[in-house]
């Protein structure tokens, strides 16, 4: 065994593969359920993120050229949900079958980039705080993410010169821009080139208002209800479904929300089946977190949440394989997770319930970023209802950037994959037929989208 390890080390040196290196203690040398080791290096461990806070990361080197390919930070949302969902079911190289076996994802984003998956904030996934206190807020998470990022590059200094991008999903629409603003406020430390936000929460008001339009034009609302909504919530062509004080408007909005969210549709993918079937047989975790982002200002209530057998498992999505695999002691050991760290959940109910939402509109952050030499991307799966594409489109339009190219289709394998419009320094893009998690629902187009973005060629 010793001779074989020495031979491997010599081979790495001779081939130059070891030029980009990370901490050997964090190097993952095997994964339970994976038939053979991958061709690329990957690391799992911890970076400090604020006093007594330790964020778990999983970093995969590029399958192409780690030394020159960009570094992408991937953040999931919630708030309180794990970026390992991105790793294991979206754009990561390792995906799970229901029987616990692992296979290589042919559409992994590490085909063209080094990708860092960060479980944030403390209390999410395998991340923890030594104080055991998990109340946090938007500004605090941004500060913690920034410190974690700096400490990551301290661990991996050879990647500091690579182009760096932030990609975030869902409530990551808050995490991403707030972190990016801190990065640009401290120039020269990180080679920051841009940001991509997928089905992100960018404006509570626009997301909520657009959801009613989305529901009506997708055939979910009766014509009579739509007429009532327009009569009671709209004046002079402007509708306020979000925070109207009109009782009749509120009642009509409640009826519409019931038909959109409470009758058994898959909120993340209108045309997808709901895992577990309808009517709902309990919903928790990320679904609860995502629903708590909608219509917060208007006092509308939703059905009580019930616990399901897998903690933190969202309604309509099968997260059982991730839960069971990541809590396998052998997997935890392979990923260097101390035995004292809590069991992994897709979404932490503790973090979600204690979380203090501070930013209701991300316009200011985008205005700061648009003043920099960056390329921004806002993309939406067009059948998602948690953060629908209309809200994303309206938000980008509200930034009043100069139009560079008109709204038009983009393609994947000679088929229309969605539509995009380019503005100065920012692009809005849809992914046709995709739900909330674009790399999961449309993995091929998602990888093509990333390649287009990095090349700034759509």
Co-location of 182 and 45 in the same domain = yes
Name the residue among 299, 198, 207, 195 with its Cα closest to residue 254: 299
Co-location of 298 and 388 in the same domain = no
Distance, CA of 18 to CA of 33 (rounded, Å): 26
Which bin fits 199, alpha (ψ -120 to 50), beta or left (φ > 0)? Answer: left
Q: Determine phi and psi for 231, rounding to 5 degrees.
A: -75, -35
Segment (H or E) for 4: helix 2-15
Co-location of 82 and 189 in the same domain = yes
Whether 330 maps to a domain, the answer reads no
Question: In this structure, are strands 71-75 and 114-118 parallel, antiparallel, or unpaired?
Answer: parallel
* CATH code, domain with 99: 3.40.50.1820
Whether 323 maps to a domain, the answer reads no
pLDDT of 119 reads: 98
Domain region containing 266: 204-316
Q: What does the pLDDT profile of the chain (458 residues) look like in tens digits?
A: 333 344 333 333 333 334 556 899 999 999 999 998 899 999 999 999 989 999 999 999 999 999 999 999 999 999 999 999 999 999 999 999 988 899 999 999 999 999 999 999 999 999 999 999 999 999 999 999 999 999 999 999 999 999 999 999 999 999 999 999 999 999 888 999 999 999 999 999 999 999 999 999 999 999 999 999 999 999 988 999 999 999 999 999 999 999 998 888 999 999 998 887 765 433 344 455 565 666 666 555 444 334 345 777 777 878 889 999 999 999 999 999 999 999 999 999 999 999 999 999 999 999 999 999 999 999 999 999 999 999 999 999 999 999 999 999 999 999 999 999 999 999 999 999 999 999 999 999 999 999 999 999 98
Name the residue among 260, 258, 275 with its Cα closest to residue 219: 260
Co-location of 377 and 299 in the same domain = no
Co-location of 184 and 237 in the same domain = no
Neighbours of 367 (CB within 10 A): 13
Distance, CA of 59 to CA of 87 (rounded, Å): 10
Which bin fits 411, alpha (ψ -120 to 50), beta or left (φ > 0)? Answer: beta
Distance, CA of 60 to CA of 79 (rounded, Å): 24
Distance, CA of 156 to CA of 179 (rounded, Å): 19
Co-location of 38 and 182 in the same domain = yes
Asked whether the beta carbons of 144 and 180 are under 8 A apart, the reply is no
* Six token digits for residue 294: 């909608």
Length of the chain in residues, anyone? 458
Query: For every residue of 387-431, which 3-state class applies, written as one string?
Result: CCHHHHHHHHHHCCCCEEEEEEEEEECCEEEEEEEEECCEEEEEE
What pTM does this model have? 0.89
CA distances from 253 to 175, 249, 363 (A): 29, 6, 26
pLDDT of 247 reads: 96
Summarised one tens digit per residue, pLDDT across range 227-238 is: 999 999 999 889
Helices 204-217, 247-261: inter-axial angle, 10-degree rounding: 70
Neighbours of 236 (CB within 10 A): 4
User: Residue 325, exposed/middle/buried by CB under 10 A (0-12, 13-18, 19+)?
Assistant: buried
Co-location of 187 and 55 in the same domain = yes
Co-location of 28 and 147 in the same domain = yes
Residues with catalytic roles: 170, 384, 436
Summarised one tens digit per residue, pLDDT across range 364-411 is: 999 999 999 999 999 999 999 999 999 999 999 999 999 999 999 999
pLDDT of 281 reads: 38
Asked whether the beta carbons of 242 and 204 are under 8 A apart, the reply is yes
* Six token digits for residue 69: 């390919």
- How many domains is the chain built from? 2
Whether 229 maps to a domain, the answer reads yes
* Six token digits for residue 96: 């799970």
Neighbours of 354 (CB within 10 A): 16
pLDDT of 5 reads: 41
């Amino acid at each position: 065994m010793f001779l074989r390890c020495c031979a491997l080390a010599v081979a790495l040196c001779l081939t130059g593969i070891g030029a980009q290196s990370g901490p050997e203690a964090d190097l993952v040398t095997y994964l339970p359920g994976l038939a053979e080791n991958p061709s690329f290096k990957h690391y799992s461990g911890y970076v400090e993120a604020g006093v007594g806070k330790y964020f778990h990361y999983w970093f995969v080197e590029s399958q192409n050229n780690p030394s020159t390919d960009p570094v992408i930070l991937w953040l999931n949302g919630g708030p309180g949900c794990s970026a390992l969902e991105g790793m294991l079911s979206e754009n990561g190289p390792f995906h799970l079958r229901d029987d616990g076996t692992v296979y290589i994802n042919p559409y992994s984003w590490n085909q063209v980039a080094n990708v860092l998956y960060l479980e944030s904030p403390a209390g999410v996934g395998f991340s923890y705080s030594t104080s055991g206190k998990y109340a946090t807020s938007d500004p605090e998470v941004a500060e913690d993410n920034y410190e974690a990022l700096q400490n990551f590059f301290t661990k991996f200094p050879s990647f500091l010169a690579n182009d760096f991008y932030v990609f975030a999903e869902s409530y990551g629409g808050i995490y991403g821009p707030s972190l990016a603003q801190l990065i640009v406020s401290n120039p020269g430390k990180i080679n920051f080139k841009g940001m991509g936000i997928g089905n992100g929460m960018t404006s509570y008001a626009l997301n909520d208002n657009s959801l009613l339009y989305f529901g009506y034009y997708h055939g979910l609302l009766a014509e009579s209800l739509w007429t009532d909504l327009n009569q009671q919530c709209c004046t002079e062509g402007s509708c306020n479904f979000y925070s109207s004080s009109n009782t009749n408007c509120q009642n009509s909005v409640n009826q519409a929300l019931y038909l959109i969210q409470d009758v058994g549709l898959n909120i993340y993918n209108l045309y997808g089946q709901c895992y577990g079937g309808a009517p709902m047989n309990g919903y928790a975790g990320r679904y609860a977190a995502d629903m708590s982002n909608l219509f917060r200002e208007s006092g509308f209530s939703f059905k009580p949440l019930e616990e399901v057998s897998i903690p933190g498992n969202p309604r309509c999505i099968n997260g059982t394989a991730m839960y069971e695999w990541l809590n396998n002691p052998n997997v935890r050991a392979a990923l260097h997770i101390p035995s004292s760290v809590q069991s992994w959940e897709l979404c932490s109910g503790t973090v979600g319930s204690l979380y203090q939402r501070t930013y209701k509109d991300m316009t200011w952050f985008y205005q700061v970023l648009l003043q920099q030499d960056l390329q921004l991307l806002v993309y939406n799966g067009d059948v998602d209802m948690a953060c629908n594409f209309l809200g994303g489109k309206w938000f980008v339009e509200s930034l009043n950037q100069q139009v560079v190219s008109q709204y038009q289709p983009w393609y994947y394998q000679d088929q229309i994959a969605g539509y995009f419009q380019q503005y100065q320094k920012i692009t809005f893009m849809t992914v046709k037929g995709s739900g909330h998690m674009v790399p999961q629902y449309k993995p091929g187009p998602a990888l093509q989208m990333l390649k287009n973005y990095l090349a700034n060629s759509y």
